[in-house]
């Protein structure tokens, strides 16, 4: 399912990015990590909900760069 139409970001892409970046990144950080910063921002709340769900389901640690 597409979460962000402007950037063509799908929910599975968000979930994979969360697993790479962990606890410290918010929706905007995750978008940037995908190389697609937010544009119209109408999807940010839905994206954050998916990100939060992924973190809860995996109990992820903080992102290490």
Instruction: For 1-65, list the strands marked E by DSSP.
Output: 2-4, 9-10
pLDDT at 65: 45
pLDDT tens, N- to C-terminus, the chain (65 residues)? 999 999 999 999 999 999 998 777 899 999 999 999 999 999 999 999 999 999 888 765 555 54
Residue 64 to residues 9, 22, 25, Cα–Cα distance (Å) = 23, 8, 11
CA atoms within 13 A on the CB side of 21: 20
| Domain at 2-58: CATH code | 1.10.10.1100
Domain ranges of the chain: 2-58
């Amino acid at each position: 399912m597409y979460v962000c139409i402007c950037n063509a970001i799908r929910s599975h892409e968000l979930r994979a990015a969360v697993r790479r970046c962990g606890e410290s990144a918010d929706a905007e950080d995750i978008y940037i990590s995908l190389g697609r910063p937010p544009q119209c921002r109408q999807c940010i709340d839905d994206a954050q909900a998916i990100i939060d769900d992924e973190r809860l389901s995996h109990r992820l640690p903080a992102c290490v760069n």
